A and B are shown apart, each in its own frame.
Chain A
Amino acid sequence: MDAFFASVEIRDDPSLRGKPVLVGGVGRRGVVAAASYEARRYGCRSAQPMAVALRLCPHAVVLPGRHEAYAEASDRVFEIFDRFSPLVEGLSIDEAFLDMTGTERLLGPPRQAAEALRAAVRQETGGLTCSIGISAVKFLSKIASGRNKPDGLTEVPPGRELEFLAPLAIDELWGVGPKSAERLRAHGIETIGDLRRLGADVLQQWFGQHGLHLHELADARDSREVVPWRSRKSISHEDTYGQDVVGIPALRRKLLSQATRVADRLVAKGLLARCVQLKIRDIGFHTETRQRTLAQPTDRAREIYAAACELLEAVEIDGRAFRLTGVGASELVPQAGPGAQLELPLAQEQPARDAGRLQGVLTAVRRRFGHQALYPAEAGAAEREGSAGGYSDSRGDE
């Protein structure tokens, strides 16, 4: 999807059309979660500090973001994807691989199917646009989809893969992060074509097994199949605060509020989390992340909060002020749907079942009336202060 969060905002408020829109944290330390194409013209992009973005584009409209709206739009888009292929592999809230093998009789050649898909998305989502890449090689489709944004269609015909890849910068390749890119550039390797010419042996020497994989990709070989999978790998909620947070009680209030939101999203998605993460960043930008595996998967705010507090105990708090906290839940498993193994009601866990029902009710209330409708008293201060930051919603990558 193109500038997904921003596009949803513009769709829902036509007065924003044509204006530079930034979605993200509105406070001093906020981060851009999405920038409309108008804003991108000024150099704004996602993951940029909001302050920087606003320096580049002072007249941009800044919106705090409405996660529910994006999730709903995402659900609709994925429903459309499901009509076009039985094999849809969600990559994030707004990206997916569709394996079109065997759909030709029904949908025509890939290009025609892609056009139909684009039309369907635009029509059924009230005007959201997407960009599509077509290729016989999985990761190439992803690269191709980014070549003609927004509202674009790029096809890499079979046999032309190497030609397409060769001139691209190395960091377009999956698995080449900033560090590897730097290392490669130091050796004069600038393009994917250079990387391929370097040969598998040299790459293996430099990067080990990973080097072989990189060479395969540069050679347009990607044996990975499209795996139907849309479940997220994690759900997290983090806030960057306008005011420094100091001391355990204040930190705990933030965590409680964040654990509550994570729990709400777990419940809404029918997922349970097995693992809880704590992320905390002090004003010196030292970031610590810690995680803990729970005895049993949960979607309850209280349990997530308790785990987060336990993790907090391991963090050196004295004499430090914090600018960011985050609570995440990962190792997600579907809540008892088909195929779910039921647990023995070991008696000590009986009260927990009631807590489960309670969590469902709390979530339902908040879904209907908003986050501030009902929250734990201890989180009150954090809720009233509001959170200055945006949230980050990290979803499964591979």
Chain B
Amino acid sequence: MELEIDQARLLSALALAQTVADKRSTMPVLANVLLRATSDGHLVCAATDMLIGLTESIPATVKSTGSVTVGVKHLHGVVRTLPPGPVRLRGLDNHWVQLVAGRSEFKLMGMPESDFPELPEAGKGKKALPFVEVPGHVLADLITKTQFSVSTDEARVNLNGVLFECDGQIATMVSTDGHRLTRYTARFPGPQLDKGIIIPRKGMLEIRRLLDRVQGDVGLAIGEHLFLRADELSMSVKLTNVVFPPYRAVIPTSHQRRVTVPREELLGALRRAEVMAPEKTATVRVSLSKGKLELTADNPDLGVAHQELSIDYDGTALVAGFNARYLIEILEVIDGTECALEFQGELDPCVIKPVDGPDLLGVVMPMRI
């Protein structure tokens, strides 16, 4: 294998590969990136952690074809600090790789491609999964607006991913960590799915990263894996075979109290309250009374923060405790100047949504105070 490639192109491929590669695996080869020089003048870079597979093909001047795998962390580290310009890669004996840029030379120990796991493919011929062209920015938006409330608790496997439903016209993503739930629905000419799929959390983050790199439409196919194809990039994400809880039942359909609040103002007050709130619980007390919404953060080790917002409210008073972070995170993804907060009682879920905006909704359970 011998080729010459532009430093910046190589770097952007390695940057993606190194987030996918698994540096802590019991399979050392998963910490490597596969480099393959092809006869059609491309360098194929691939990485996987067995859950996510990523392949990028970048134009290169190939002198001789061949392949090798090498630790992505250090290769990325070297290429990142090289000055712009051409980089030469050459396979040596015993799966070593030589990298030359200007008068710098690096030799890295590698492993053969045969050690590297085969990445899942969307299939060929009759068995091929159909790819649907979907707007990348909408998919990115769906992920951004829901990923923050995916559970990171490994004991709750059915909540460790986002639920993705799509009827071909409209897509919905739902995430919950058991304390709060986020649902976002958007127009999305995607694949028609009989039932929802669960995209694992790490997969969401990698898809999001990939979408940052591309513009326009991307190809999406869903089978046992989710496949994404864009320009020279392709990604596979193994879907989780768990059942998402029946989330519709926990979205309140009615409310007793409703207020509308300027989103930025509430967000600012909550961020200040969070600074003062007890670190572990982030509890803030939300009080509604005639004409005002009060936010109180009381920290026995620190002090008290009390803030008031003027609102148009004439209903019965309410005092409820909330994790400030949960409120902040949903408010941050609401586009729009006004948001609505809907309450039942002080121990019932609170619904947060934009007043005039997309179909986005957060359900946040209160805390006992």
Contact = CB atoms under 8 A, between A and B. Distances in A.
B281 A341 contact: yes
Interface stretch (B95-103, B288-296, B360-368): B360-368
Contacts of B181: 344
B358 interface: no
A340 B246 CA distance: 24
Contact of B281 (A339, A344, A348): A339
Nearest to B348: A342
B249 A342 contact: no
B246 A344 contact: no
A340 to B, nearest CB: 5
A347 B245 contact: yes
A293 B349 contact: no
Interface stretch (B120-128, B132-140, B161-169, B172-180): B172-180
A273 to B, nearest CB: 13
A351 interface: no
Contacts of B247: 346
A184 to B, nearest CB: 37
Given A295-B155, A348-B246, A343 B369 contact: no
Interface string A328-346: 0000000011111111111
B245 A348 contact: yes
Interface in A280-339: 293-296, 336-339
A180 B283 CA distance: 45
Contact of B179 (A294, A344, A347, A348): A344
Interface in B115-162: 155-156
Nearest to A340: B368
A27 B208 CA distance: 64
B245 A346 contact: yes
B178 A343 contact: yes
B367 A343 contact: no
Nearest to B246: A347
Nearest to B368: A340
Contact of B178 (A294, A337, A344, A347): A344
A341 B179 contact: yes
Contacts of A348: 245-246
A339 B178 contact: no
B290 to A, nearest CB: 27
B250 A342 contact: no
A341 B367 contact: yes
Contacts of A345: 249-250
B240 interface: no
- Max count, chain B CB within 10 A of own CB: residue among A336, A338, A346, A349: A346
Given A347-B245, A347-B250, A340 B178 contact: no
B246 A336 contact: no
A163 to B, nearest CB: 37
B367 A344 contact: no
A344 B369 contact: no
B323 A341 contact: yes
A134 B281 CA distance: 35
Interface string B45-72: 0000000000000000000000000000
A339 B367 contact: yes
B347 interface: yes
Interface string A247-267: 000000000000000000000
B363 A344 contact: yes
Nearest to A293: B155
A338 B180 CA distance: 18
Nearest to A274: B155
A46 to B, nearest CB: 36
Interface in B330-369: 347, 349, 363, 365-369
Contact of A339 (B179, B245, B246, B283): B283
Nearest to B158: A295
Contacts of B349: 344
A343 B323 CA distance: 12
B351 to A, nearest CB: 12
Contacts of B323: 341
A337 B321 CA distance: 12
- Max count, chain B CB within 10 A of own CB: residue among A293, A338, A341, A343: A341
Contacts of B278: 339
16 contacts: A296-B155, A296-B156, A296-B178, A337-B368, A338-B368, A338-B369, A339-B278, A339-B369, A341-B281, A342-B347, A344-B176, A344-B365, A346-B176, A346-B247, A347-B245, A348-B246
Interface of B: 155-156, 176, 178-181, 245-247, 249-250, 278, 281, 283, 321, 323, 347, 349, 363, 365-369
The 7 lowest CB-CB distance pairs between A and B, nearest first, are A347-B249, A346-B245, A342-B365, A347-B246, A340-B368, A344-B250, A295-B155
